[in-house]
Structure formats: C-alpha cells, structure tokens
Structure 1
Amino acid sequence: MIGRAGGSRRDVLLIVFSRVFRNFAAGFLNVAVGLYMYTELHYSFPLIGSVFGAASLAAPFLNLVFGLTSDVYGRKKMLVIGNSLLVFSTIMLLLSSSYYLIVLASMLGSFGLAGGTVGGGVGGYVAPMQNALLAEKAPPGERTRYFSLASVAGGVSSSVGAFLTNIPDYRTLFLIGLVISALATVIVLFISESQSRKPAREVFRFRSGRNIAKFSVTGALNGLGQGLVTPYFSVLFKSNYHISNGLIGDIMGAATLVTAFSLYFTPYLTKKLGFVNLISVTRGVSTLLLGLFPFIPGIVLASADYFCFTALRMLSLPAQQSLMMGMVTENERGAATSVNQASRLIPSSAGTFIAGYLFADSFELPFLVSVPVNLFNIVFYNLFFRKDERKVEF
C-alpha cells in the first residue's frame, strides 16, 4: 500500500509504527482501567461513569488545543507533546489509587473514551496530527488506502494489547503501558515536520468552515450514540456474565482484531458502493446489532454480536477520514479533525455521564436510547455528503 509514496514512504512508516505502539498500549489500558476501578477499587457504575465522563469532557478541549495549534506550530511537535501525556497518565496510575489522580490520569490519557481502540485508542487527541500528517504524505488518490493501512495496523496492535489483560496484576499492566507509550513518543521524533503551516493570526478562521460544520453534526450524533454504551463494555461483560478479566480481554482483543482486518476491504468497498452507501449499510446493520445486544442470552452469542457490530461500525472510518481530508484545505486539516473530534466527544461525555445512572437501573435502557441516535446519524450522512463525495478522490 505504501510503495507509491516515494520520498514520503519513511514518514508514512514512522507514523504507522507510532500508532501501532500507542494502540498496543491502548488495547489493554482501555480494558484494564475500567476493570481496575470495578474489581480492585470497587467503584459503582455512577462513580465509574464520573471518571469516564471526566475523560470525555477533557477530550474535546485537548482535541481543539492540539488540532488548532498543530496547523500553526507544527504537527510533529504537537504529536510529541500529545503522546507524552499518555506517558504521564500511566505514571499517575502507577503512583496512586486516589480517585482524583485516576480522574486526572483518565482525562490526560482519555481512558474509556467512546470509539474504541481502532479509531484512535487512548488519547484520541493525537488523531488530528496523525491524520493531517498522513494525508500530507499520501497521494490524494491513495488516501483511503493509507488510512486503511494505518487503521489495520493500529487495530491489530490494539487487539494484541488487549490480550495482555490476562496478566492479573494491574501494576504490571500499567508499567508495560508506560514503556510502550514512551516508545510511541520517541518514534515521532524521527518524522519530518509538516510543511503546511497556517499563520497564527488566522488560527480561528476557516475557509472550509461549511464542510467542517457538516462533519461536526454527524460527529455529534455519533459521539452521543457511542458514549452511551462503548466505554462500559468491559465492565458490562464482568457484571452481567461474571467472566474473568482475561476472558474479557480476549473477547475485546478478538473483536478489535476482526475489526482491524475488516478495514483492509474499506478502499474496495468505498469504490464499489460509494462512501454514503457504505456508511448507510454498515452502520445501519451495526445499529440493529447494538440494539439486540442486551437481549442476547449467554456469553458466546453476546460476544459474536459484539464482534459483528464493532467491525461494521468501524468499517467506514478510513473512508470518512479520507473524505474529510479531501473536503478541507490542506493547512486546516489538523483543525478540521480536532473540531470534528470535539463535536463528537462533547455529546459523548454527556452520554457517558448519563449512562452511568441508566445502567445502575437498567441494563437495556442505554442501548435502546443509543439506537435512534445512531439512525439519525446515518440520515445526516445521506443529507450532507451524497453529492460531495463525487468531488473527492478517495
């Protein structure tokens, strides 16, 4: 996939390798932190919701800061700083079990962030820099293939990381997370800096404002729908099916692996069906499976349902990223991604807070609320992008 990149091949590889290491850490941290609060610290669902909700509230702010400043001061520099925050957050988990430090660590590391590890993993605020750098290095007609490559590689590493939750000692897991996240940071130092800069005086001026607004609306609906359920899956498997931490890690790791390999087909399906048709079909079926999840008896069938709706929900992600990069000006790509992420994460944090209380009373209710929100998301993709997708090279 990267053979045609010419002089940018090295940078593409470094971006992908950095994502691989970061997502490897994300694979087990996203599972372990929730289980750590539930099994080791004996937090209630509302208390866990407050931690994950705080992380979701901090994420939009971090996304905006990193996205806007990366277009002005350099995407490589801001990516190094962003990766470093995950290092500091794992240090906090190692140092103390204080509720307030866990909240701060979750805010800096975005633990429990709705969206899963394939879509960005722990610390989703690095996505604006990663995506903008990748889009800059990739030929326009090959962007979807490059985004698919990065997503597949990141997803596979996430799934491998999730299997590490078979290690029973949380401190050991956090220590491994510290080392791996530090490696992800060091790799970025060898990437050549972005040549596309935006004047500081124009940081809040957007030539692509109309298109950014469209992606913000769909992002908001997606964030709310996922925030209601996604951060809680590791805890739900534990509380409802009473299985071991290791088996939970195996299930979530396998689901991430299935999802990662499904992304390999995104470029082909995008060319065959078109972006809007692809997202309508895959997310429509995914939403149906999500609504069925709380009514499925037994861990085997529940796991199969989880595998399917996770893979289908994420299948269109590389095409969506490519479309957005093609619809905004080059020196606003970091800002566009950050605004899109912020618009997704603010409603997501509200959903996560609310779901903590809903789950305390009803296992089914958060899923039933999530279904119509996800369906509206599909409707708006059709309204906003059916004409625009014809103008963009994927």
Structure 2
Amino acid sequence: MDRVSIFSLIISRVLRSSSAGIIFVILPYLVLVELKYSSLFLGFAYTVGTFATAIFGLAVGYLADLYGRKNTLILASLLLPLSALLLFLNHSLIALLVASALGGYSATGAVAGGGIGGIVAPIQNALITEIIENENRTFYFSLFTFLSGISASVGSLIAGLFSSEQEFLIAIIMGFLSVFALLPIRTKNIRAKSASLKSKVVIGKFSITGLLNGISVGLITPFLIPFFIIIYHTPKSEMSIYTFLSSLIASTLILIAPFLDKKMGFVMSIAITRGVGALLSIIMPLIRIFPISLGIYLILPAIRILALPIQQRAMTEMVSQDELGRAMGINQVTRLAASSGSTSLTGYLFSESQIDLPFLASGIIMALNIYMYYKFFGGKNEVNRPSRGSSLLKPSRD
C-alpha cells in the first residue's frame, strides 16, 4: 500500500471538500438573498451544474482509463477553484451559470458526500481502488468520505463567519492548494487497451439504479437549504451551523459502513438506509414544525450516503480494473443527468409554492430504486455477501 499516495489524496480531498463546503452554503444565499433571484433561477443554475458534471465526469472517466488517472485528476481538480474565482470577480447571471458548470454546483449530495465539484469523484475512486487492496476498500472509501465530510463541515461553518467575497476568496485558495497536493501521487499507470467495455451489463445495472437515485436526490437535496430559507426564513449565520452539524453527523455515521458491510452485505445495507431516508423525505414537508424539520435535515444526508462506500466496494469487485474510471463516470452521468431534470422541476414547483410534491415524489422513487437493487443484485452472492474486509478500528496491515 502506497502511503505517500494515500496521504496526498487525503490532503487534496480535505482541502477540496472544505472549499466545496463553503460554496455549498453561500451559493443559495448569494442567489436568493443578496442578488434577489428566484428559486426557479437557482434550480436552473443547479441543473446546469449537474448536467455539466455529468458530461465532464463521463469525459474524465474515459480519459482516466485511456490516458492516465493522475494527470486527468489534476486537470479536473482545477475547475472548482477556477469557478470560485469567476464568481469572486463577477456576479452576473452568465457568470453564475458558467461557474456552476465549471464547478459542478449540483448540490445533489450531502456536503459529506461531495455534492459540489463531483467531476473528480470517478477518478478519485478509481485511484483509491488502484492503491488499496480489495479487502480494505470499504474501510478506505468510508475513511475518505469521513474526512471529506468533516472538512466540508468546517467549510460550511466558515461560510457563516465572513462576507460572500471573503468566503469565495478562501474557497479559491483552498481549491488551488488541493490541486498542488496531488503532485506527489504515484500510480501504477493502469490503462485500458480498448475503448470497449467488457463489464457493460454490470455497468448498465448500476446505471439504472443510479438514474433512479439521481431523480430522487435531485428532487430535494439542492433545495434543503432553500426550504429553510422559504419556510422558516432561517438566516445564513444559523443555517451554516445546521449544515455544519448535518455534515458532521453524516461524516461520523459513515464510519459504521464497514460494520454494515460485514453484517448485512451490499443490497440489505442499501435497502435499510435508503428506505429510512425515503420515509424521512416524505415526512419532512408534511410536519412543518421547525425542530422536527431541523431534526430530519440533520440526519437525512447521513442516512442517504451511509451505504455509499459499500456500493462503491461492490462496483469495484464486479468491474474490471481498467474499466473503473469509465464505469464510475457512466454511473455518475446517468445519476446526475437524471438529477438535473428533477432539480429543474423542483425549482419550478418551489417557485409555484408547491413545496410538498418534490419530497413526496423523492420518497416514492427511492422505494423503486431499492426494488431495482433487489432485482439486479439480490441473488448475486459475490456482492451481496457480508464483506471480509477490515473494521474501521483495526484495518488490515500491508
């Protein structure tokens, strides 16, 4: 196991996640409060970011497999700080949309899950798979998500302390530092011999489940903060604290993913965590009591991403090593393309004061997503079995 490369990836991810955490909180306040644009425009900006992330993510997935993962990751990582630099210099409508496209301002995941700047996720995961042996991958996927979430939590807390200009400047600096941190990484230079895919059936199944997950998440996740702005008129200073706590909970809770993997395996972990998330999504808009809404907001992101490292582990076991960048890129494309459409719909519904409908639809679609996981993977012992990997407390030695 290459500790230098792992440490470099961790430092880069921590800095990038801190930058993304700042942007995650300040963007809706910049659009809705400072610039006085509508929820419809915010939804459109998120849609542009989501769609661009899907397209760029697919492109960099192919580039990573065919031409090298390290250089592709460095180039892709430059887009987030460049997008923040653009918004630092210009707040026009065009600048907002271009920055959203470059930075991947999709907000379709929890801060802990990397909702901003997701273009690099397929390459990062492919590199983790390349560096880490199979039996420890759930552990390291969980560890990276934990550290990313903690860093994003700090970023979201910073977002309530300064002016928007100062916060964008901090995000820019952290973003560029995250790129420099990637330089010491050493890779095995795994490259695909052909552009064709041997694992296309498995990739197709993950893409269908990813599409349903994308629709469900895209309906509500980008509008959780706007929900509090519109319904409860929550100020940015308070919301940054709540976002910090939500991300902290998500980041900490994900540490039990290896335990869930050992005890329940892939499909059951997905079913339980996302089933609870679907139920909470339906309840949230129906009971408009601030403490209840806040409680759901604090735990919903954690529930939604808890099984993510297990799903990533399962995919790496079922897909050829030289196809992982493309497999994860294709999975991300279907998920985010679906999210872009559902996010636009929610922007329209919010602007028409139909706030309940996206939450109800999200819960129903997530239930269908769980059914498809059982249909596709419920009988596959190799991925549904409990993991043989290490626990978080006692990872295996090299």
**TM-score, normalized by length of structure 1?**
0.95
Q: Distance in 2 between matches of 1:297 and 1:372?
A: 20
Match of 1:333?
324
Q: Please say if 1:77 is aligned against 2:71.
A: yes
Q: Distance in 1 between matches of 2:381 and 2:162?
A: 47
1:173-322 mapped onto 2 (5 Å cutoff): 173-199=167-193, 202-203=194-195, 205-322=196-313
Structure ranking higher in helix proportion: 1
SS in 2 for 1:188: coil
Structure 1 residue 116, shift from structure 2 partner? 2.3
Q: Does structure 2 retain, via aligned residues, the 8 Å contact 1:35–1:234?
A: no
Match of 2:84?
90
Match of 2:396?
none
Structure 1 residue 339, shift from structure 2 partner? 0.3
SS in 2 for 1:228: helix
Q: Does structure 2 retain, via aligned residues, the 8 Å contact 1:30–1:112?
A: no
Match of 1:52?
46
Match of 1:41?
35
* 320-329 vs 189-198, greater mean Cα deviation: 189-198
Structure 1 residue 262, shift from structure 2 partner? 0.6
| Equivalent position amino acid for 1:364 in 2 | D
Structure 1 residue 168, shift from structure 2 partner? 4.2
| Equivalent position amino acid for 1:181 in 2 | G
Q: Does structure 2 retain, via aligned residues, the 8 Å contact 1:285–1:312?
A: yes
The gaps in structure 2 that reach 5 residues or longer are 390-398
Superposition RMSD in Å: 1.3
Match of 1:18?
12
Structure 1 residue 320, shift from structure 2 partner? 0.6
| Equivalent position amino acid for 1:92 in 2 | L
Structure 1 residue 117, shift from structure 2 partner? 2.3
Match of 1:66?
60
Match of 2:360 among 365, 368, 372: 368
* CA separation of 1:13 and 1:178: change in aligned 2, threshold 3 A: same
1:131-142 mapped onto 2 (5 Å cutoff): 131-142=125-136
Structure 1 residue 228, shift from structure 2 partner? 0.8
* CA separation of 1:112 and 1:64: change in aligned 2, threshold 3 A: closer
SS in 2 for 1:279: helix
Q: Does structure 1 retain, via aligned residues, the 8 Å contact 2:109–2:301?
A: no
Q: Distance in 2 between matches of 1:130 and 1:363?
A: 35
| Equivalent position amino acid for 1:332 in 2 | E
* 334-343 vs 242-251, greater mean Cα deviation: 242-251
| Percent identity (aligned) | 35
SS in 2 for 1:295: coil
Match of 1:150?
144
Q: Distance in 2 between matches of 1:121 and 1:224?
A: 14
Q: Distance in 2 between matches of 1:243 and 1:34?
A: 12
SS in 1 for 2:78: helix
Q: Distance in 2 between matches of 1:324 and 1:389?
A: 14
Deviations along 1:126-181, whole A, 9 cap, x unmatched?
A: 01110000011111111100101101110111111111121241000100000000
Deviations along 1:253-290, whole A, 9 cap, x unmatched?
A: 11110011111110011111111111111110111011
Match of 1:388?
380
SS in 2 for 1:198: coil
Q: Distance in 2 between matches of 1:187 and 1:77?
A: 13
Q: Distance in 1 between matches of 2:365 and 2:289?
A: 27
* CA separation of 1:325 and 1:274: change in aligned 2, threshold 3 A: same
**TM-score, normalized by length of structure 2?**
0.94
